[in-house]
Chain A
Amino acid sequence: MKNKMLKIVKSWEFVLLLILVLEFVVFGSINDKFLQPVRIFSNITNYISICIISLFVTMVMITGGIDIQASSIVGLTSITIGVLWNDFGFSIWAAVGAAILLAALCGALSGFFVAYCGVQPMVVTLGGSFLYSGLGLVISRMSAIPAYQGISGFPSKNEDGTFSSFRWLGNAKLFGDLKLPVQIVIYVILIILMYILLHKTKYGRSIFLVGVNPQAAEYSGINTKLVKMSTYMLTGIGAAIAGILLTSQLNSSKYDLGSTYTLSIITAVVLGGTLSTGGKGSIIGTALASLVICMLRFGLTLCFKMSSQNLDLPVGIMLLLVVSGRQLLRIVRHMDA
């Protein structure tokens, strides 16, 4: 029992949790508006795409790969939904389904090149990020509405003013007075699903094994190529979910939504304790890390009046300090031993 407690306290997730609590204490004591649930929720919903996608990218990085194309798939999904619904007469849910399918295909294509052709993941997904954002632009040209304007006017409100249908996803609040946005509920469900998938199933164990030692995984009868490819496909689907929620929330379908997310996603995954060389990582860590970044951005703008355009600086400093600190600690420990 004591050993188990010690293990939890020593774990990286616990440190992240402490940082998160510290943020609440510091920012909360400076400005008590920080502790209002409504503000916290709305802030998380603004950051929800990065939170969601980073969960999926965690899996890719555990297999030893990297995915920098997910952010371009966000825009691709968004514009696909818009064009199919607006110009091709699809019903909104059919358009959403088609967009998810397209995103999964995009992910699978890159995954295929990584797993079956043995190309470096960084290069393939770099090419993918050009390709899929370009594809988004091409699709947006099929619409009668100019690309910069974005397609809007999705089916939305009931007569009593509540959101319904597609826009319910991005705007409705649940649980009465708690006013919990739907996105956060979806996020929590995704965390639970991904946690079970990665940490409690055979598939999840094989992901770790592929990351630790692909050869050993292959010899022990795991279809390593398929496992690798599937992680990229899942990331495509994750990006599609983020794209759908974003489109619904903004009521606007644009090809360049999410194009700047790449670095934030990687930051969240790495801060969550996932090794970029593969083999180690956890969903809880990533989820906590993305919340830490999210709350840091929120707190700095609210309490220190920092411009929201300039949040790269603190996040960058935090990332540098955390990774350097961990590495220093490892070196010191190595010397002791």
Chain B
Amino acid sequence: MKEFIKKISGVRWVSSLLFLIALFVITGIVNPTFFSYSNIIACFNNSCVFMLLAIGISFTIMTGEIDVSIGAVMGLTAAISGVIAQQNGSWLPMLGWAVLVGAVTGLVNGIGVAVLKVPSLIFTLGTCGVVRGIVYIYTGGRTIENFSGSFTRFGNSTVGNTGIGVFFLMMIVIVAVLAVLLNTRRGKYFLAVGDNIGGAVLVGIPATRVKFFAYILSGIFAGISGIVFASKYGQITIIAGNGYEMSAVAACVLGGISLSGGLGNVIGAAIGGVIMSSISRLLVFLGFSSDYDNTITGVMLIAIVVIDALTQQRAIENARRERLLARAAVSGQ
């Protein structure tokens, strides 16, 4: 039992989960009306867009790179699925386009970052601009709205009487499947490449291919999040998804994924996504106006990463001291 606790407290996403629970509990203590099933489940139901984005970008972050084009990709697929929904189209073409757009963008990013070795922030910044431009050309600068009712209804529908959203249920399945897959031999390649790319290459991991794959996954997830976005909000402006990439990165950081790569888990990314999307709702219950949204997100983000960095530094320092002491003991004998 003791070992189990020790093992579980070492997992980074567990502390993120505890943080999420603490947020809920504090909100509930301040304002007891928050403690209802429907309120709490709503926090999860509304987090699907952020969760998808965060999970997608977590692959690139795990390999030690970053992908800031996901917000634009999301905007493009949201616009495409919006247009399909206007014509009463079905889900299949939407999904097809989302995967296609995401995969192509991911492919381009992969070529730039993994093959040409351009710094990832810069290259994905470029693709971000290009995809944004395509959004503008595709929509002609108009806002897409007036979808068929069935499309938006589905986005807000729940499973039976449980109140659990359809999208959220799918998210749980996706996260569970990914968590299992990432625990396999090949799944661990992402973290290996991010932790030490030279070492990974030496032990025979195809680092270039892994990075390629990470970018394609991140693109596809961003593409799918566009469908969810369109279905949830029912209106897509040409700047839809602007700045979402930064929120997704923030979600990953909150979920315990290290931006220098090699540390983290998709479960963490999903939990981070829930935290990011719940903050504004929690603030309302705490009696703050939503004006404080960004301030609190910023404070939280900085506080978490600073504390994390300091504890890690201390751990390294302690390990070094122990090593020195051990060496002194050996030489003293």
List, in ascending order, chain B residues with CB within 8 A of A118's CB. 309, 313
List, in ascending order, chain B residues with CB within 8 A of A263's CB. 68, 125, 128-129
User: Which positions 208-266 of chain A face chain B at CB distance < 8 Å?
Assistant: 260, 263, 266
Whether A312 is near chain B, meaning CB under 8 Å from some CB there, is yes
Q: How far is B112's CA from A108's CA once the two chains are assembled, in angstroms?
A: 34
List, in ascending order, chain A residues with CB within 8 A of B121's CB. 66, 122, 266, 276
Question: Nearest-CB distance from B271 to chain A (Å)?
Answer: 17
Interface centre among A68, A134, A135, A315 (most CB of B within 10 A): A134
Contact B119 A277 (CB under 8 A): yes
Contact A313 B129 (CB under 8 A): yes
> Given the known A-B contacts A315-B129, A320-B123, are A128 and B302 also in contact in the complex, defined by CB atoms under 8 Å?
yes
Question: Nearest-CB distance from B296 to chain A (Å)?
Answer: 7
List, in ascending order, chain A residues with CB within 8 A of B116's CB. 324, 327-328, 331
Whether A137 is near chain B, meaning CB under 8 Å from some CB there, is yes
Interface centre among B117, B128, B295, B298 (most CB of A within 10 A): B298
Contact A307 B309 (CB under 8 A): no
Q: How far is B259's CA from A119's CA once the two chains are assembled, in angstroms?
A: 10
List, in ascending order, chain A residues with CB within 8 A of B141's CB. 307, 309-310
**Binary contact track A105-122/B, C-beta < 8 Å → 1, others 0:** 000000001000111101
> Given the known A-B contacts A124-B305, A130-B301, A131-B299, are A313 and B122 also in contact in the complex, defined by CB atoms under 8 Å?
no
Whether B250 is near chain A, meaning CB under 8 Å from some CB there, is yes
B302 in complex: contacting residue of A127, A133, A309, A323, CB < 8 Å = A127
> Given the known A-B contacts A123-B253, A123-B259, are A138 and B295 also in contact in the complex, defined by CB atoms under 8 Å?
yes
* Closest partner residue, chain A, to B134 (CB atom): A313
* Closest partner residue, chain B, to A125 (CB atom): B302
Q: How far is B132's CA from A267's CA once the two chains are assembled, in angstroms?
A: 15
List, in ascending order, chain B residues with CB within 8 A of A317's CB. 126, 129-130
Q: How far is B118's CA from A274's CA once the two chains are assembled, in angstroms?
A: 13
Whether A270 is near chain B, meaning CB under 8 Å from some CB there, is yes
Whether B235 is near chain A, meaning CB under 8 Å from some CB there, is no
B122 in complex: contacting residue of A119, A131, A314, A319, CB < 8 Å = A319
Contact B122 A312 (CB under 8 A): no
Whether A132 is near chain B, meaning CB under 8 Å from some CB there, is yes
Q: Chain A's interface: helix, strand, loop or mixed, by majority?
A: helix
Whether B230 is near chain A, meaning CB under 8 Å from some CB there, is no
Interface residues on chain A, number (Cβ under 8 Å): 46
Whether A141 is near chain B, meaning CB under 8 Å from some CB there, is yes
Whether B297 is near chain A, meaning CB under 8 Å from some CB there, is yes
Whether B306 is near chain A, meaning CB under 8 Å from some CB there, is yes
Whether B107 is near chain A, meaning CB under 8 Å from some CB there, is no
Whether A129 is near chain B, meaning CB under 8 Å from some CB there, is yes
Whether B26 is near chain A, meaning CB under 8 Å from some CB there, is no
Question: Nearest-CB distance from A215 to chain B (Å)?
Answer: 15
Whether A316 is near chain B, meaning CB under 8 Å from some CB there, is yes
Q: How far is B259's CA from A230's CA once the two chains are assembled, in angstroms?
A: 23
Whether A188 is near chain B, meaning CB under 8 Å from some CB there, is no
List, in ascending order, chain A residues with CB within 8 A of B299's CB. 127, 131
A-B interface contact total, Cβ < 8 Å: 156
A124 in complex: contacting residue of B118, B133, B292, B302, CB < 8 Å = B302
Q: How far is B121's CA from A277's CA once the two chains are assembled, in angstroms?
A: 11
Q: How far is B122's CA from A277's CA once the two chains are assembled, in angstroms?
A: 11
Question: Nearest-CB distance from B264 to chain A (Å)?
Answer: 13
> Given the known A-B contacts A117-B306, A327-B118, are A313 and B133 also in contact in the complex, defined by CB atoms under 8 Å?
yes
Whether A18 is near chain B, meaning CB under 8 Å from some CB there, is no
Question: Nearest-CB distance from A254 to chain B (Å)?
Answer: 14
Contact B127 A320 (CB under 8 A): yes
List, in ascending order, chain B residues with CB within 8 A of A141's CB. 289, 291
List, in ascending order, chain A residues with CB within 8 A of B242's CB. 260
Q: How far is B131's CA from A319's CA once the two chains are assembled, in angstroms?
A: 13
Q: How far is B293's CA from A160's CA once the two chains are assembled, in angstroms?
A: 46
Whether A126 is near chain B, meaning CB under 8 Å from some CB there, is yes
**Binary contact track B220-253/A, C-beta < 8 Å → 1, others 0:** 0000000000000000001000100010011001
**Binary contact track B84-128/A, C-beta < 8 Å → 1, others 0:** 000000000000000000000000000010001111011101111
List, in ascending order, chain A residues with CB within 8 A of B306's CB. 113, 117, 119, 124
Q: How far is B299's CA from A266's CA once the two chains are assembled, in angstroms?
A: 24
> Given the known A-B contacts A127-B305, A130-B297, A134-B298, are A327 and B246 also in contact in the complex, defined by CB atoms under 8 Å?
no
**Binary contact track A290-316/B, C-beta < 8 Å → 1, others 0:** 000000000000000001011011111
List, in ascending order, chain A residues with CB within 8 A of B296's CB. 134
Q: How far is B294's CA from A131's CA once the two chains are assembled, in angstroms?
A: 6
Whether B31 is near chain A, meaning CB under 8 Å from some CB there, is no
Question: Nearest-CB distance from A208 to chain B (Å)?
Answer: 18
List, in ascending order, chain A residues with CB within 8 A of B131's CB. 316
* Closest partner residue, chain A, to B249 (CB atom): A126
Whether B183 is near chain A, meaning CB under 8 Å from some CB there, is no
List, in ascending order, chain A residues with CB within 8 A of B118's CB. 323-324, 327
Question: Nearest-CB distance from A304 to chain B (Å)?
Answer: 13
List, in ascending order, chain B residues with CB within 8 A of A126's CB. 246, 249-250, 253, 301
Q: List 7 A-B contacts (CB under 8 A).
A: A127-B300, A134-B297, A312-B136, A313-B137, A316-B132, A320-B112, A331-B116
B contact residues vs A (CB 8 Å cutoff): 66, 68, 112, 116-119, 121-123, 125-134, 136-137, 141, 238, 242, 246, 249-250, 253, 259-260, 289, 291-302, 305-306, 308-310, 313
A contact residues vs B (CB 8 Å cutoff): 66, 68, 113, 117-120, 122-124, 126-135, 137-138, 141, 260, 263, 266-267, 270, 276-277, 307, 309-310, 312-317, 319-320, 323-324, 327-328, 331
Task: Across the A-B interface, give the 3 residue pairs with the lowest CB-CB distance, nearest first.
Answer: A313-B133, A316-B129, A131-B298
Given A127-B302, A317-B126, A323-B119, output 10 extra A-B contacts at Cβ < 8 Å.
A120-B260, A126-B250, A129-B298, A134-B293, A134-B294, A263-B128, A307-B136, A317-B130, A319-B125, A324-B118
